[in-house]
Chain A
Amino acid sequence: GAGVSQSPRYKVAKRGQDVALRCDPISGHVSLFWYQQALGQGPEFLTYFQNEAQLDKSGLPSDRFFAERPEGSVSTLKIQRTQQEDSAVYLCASSLEQGSYYEQYFGPGTRLTVT
């Protein structure tokens, strides 16, 4: 079966450019998470959706980061006016339901490099 997919897998952006990262969760999964993983670190939470509702965006580092999931399936993470500190792997994860019990399935990530 299809897992979580993300595109593009690699993105190089010049400082100041806007980028959009896409996540296709597993079909039927209610919960969707975005994490940021800096080099040599563990993933850090950015934001959470339950269906189309963004219930938690407390991890977004600045107002340059924006995420949406308009139809409750595909999600897009947008970063405006990229900065070098935005360079990281952005991971998307989905789970069947809300709650810690439910396993989060991770995508392969998008590696963003800001030059």
Chain B
Amino acid sequence: AQTVTQSQPEMSVQEAETVTLSCTYDTSESDYYLFWYKQPPSRQMILVIRQEAYKQQNATENRFSVNFQKAAKSFSLKISDSQLGDAAMYFCAYGGDSGAGSYQLTFGKGTKLSVIP
């Protein structure tokens, strides 16, 4: 079974600074996807960024980028120019063929990011 580990329960960053959230995962598959989801307090979970495992190039979405190290099974999220609206829980998730016909996501426990004005 796949597992996802987020070793930083909480992080903080000064507004306009850069922060990196860590994620490692375990899988025996070669074809899969990795995701970072953001869950603001009392609000819906939304996709921040997605990485295909077969692509060597790291995904970027505006101020958000990832450092994907397939051999090390590491998938960190970098947030540049942090804004107050970035404060939220961030979940790393693995998506792959479960072998049971579904493609459910396996989530880490999350990292709570605080942004300091």
Taking beta carbons and an 8 Å cutoff, which residues of A are in contact with B? 3-4, 31, 33, 35, 40-45, 48, 50, 55-56, 58-59, 91, 98-104, 106-109
By a beta-carbon cutoff of 8 Å, the part of chain B in contact with chain A is 4, 32-33, 37, 43-47, 50, 52, 91, 93, 95-98, 100-110
Name the one of B100, B105, B110 contacting A41, with C-beta atoms under 8 angstroms: B110
List, in ascending order, chain B residues with CB within 8 A of A42's CB: 4, 91, 93, 107-110
User: CA–CA, A45 to B98, complex, Å?
Assistant: 11
Minimum C-beta distance from A106 to chain B (A): 4
Report the separation of the CA atoms of residues A84 and B46 in the bound assembly, to the nearest whole angstrom.
Answer: 29
**Chain A contacts for B52, CB-based, 8 A:** 101
With A100-B95, A103-B47, A106-B44 already in contact, the answer to whether A56 and B110 are too (CB < 8 A) is no
Q: Mind listing 13 A-B residue pairs with CB under 8 Å?
A: A41-B110, A42-B109, A42-B110, A45-B106, A55-B102, A56-B102, A59-B104, A100-B32, A100-B95, A100-B96, A102-B103, A103-B47, A104-B105
Query: Would A55 and B33 be within 8 Å (CB), given that A42-B108, A44-B107 are in contact?
Result: no
A33, B110: Cβ atoms under 8 Å? Answer: no
Could you tell me the distance between the alpha carbons of A28 and B101 in the complex, rounded to whole angstroms?
20
B102 adjacent to A3 (CB under 8 Å): no
Question: Could you tell me the distance between the alpha carbons of A99 and B25 in the complex, rounded to whole angstroms?
Answer: 19
Docked complex Cα distance between A42 and B89 (Å): 10
Q: What is the minimal beta-carbon distance from A57 to any residue of chain B, in angstroms?
A: 9
Cα–Cα distance between A36 and B22 once the two chains are bound (Å): 23
Question: Which residues from chain B contact A100 at a C-beta distance below 8 Å?
Answer: 32-33, 95-97, 103
User: How far, in angstroms, from A56 to B102 measured CA to CA in the complex?
Assistant: 6
In the bound complex, what is the Cα–Cα distance between A12 and B98 (angstroms)?
Answer: 33
Chain B: CB-nearest residue to A56: B102
